[in-house]
Amino acid sequence: MKGKAVRLDDDFCPNCAAKLSAASVAFGPKAKPKEGDPTLCVYCLEFAIFGPGLKLRKTTEIELRLTLDLEQYEHFAATREGLRAAKARYGMN
């Protein structure tokens, strides 16, 4: 994923509760996350959405498909599948 990482103030993944200290968005070399942007947890590989104050909240596949255009959605899905394959290959759970 590319984009400029931003520090998160004591935020946690809404899916797996992993503590997250930074996050970025996938689109644009200088993109910074903003409210409504999706992201992918590097621990559980589930999607989340930045809410007010860049606090993460759960999302659904339907919401992602409505939020992203097809190219962006396919990019996110391919990134997740690539990371899942790498974790499985190297025994990273």
pLDDT at residue 32 is higher than 80: no
pTM of the model: 0.80
Over the stretch 33-80, which tens digit does the pLDDT of each residue have?
Answer: 888 888 889 899 999 999 998 899 999 989 999 989 999 899 889 999
C-alpha span between 85 and 38 (Å, rounded): 21
Give strand ranges (E) for the chain.
6-12, 19-23, 38-40, 47-50, 56-58
Backbone φ and ψ of 81, nearest 5°: -65, -40
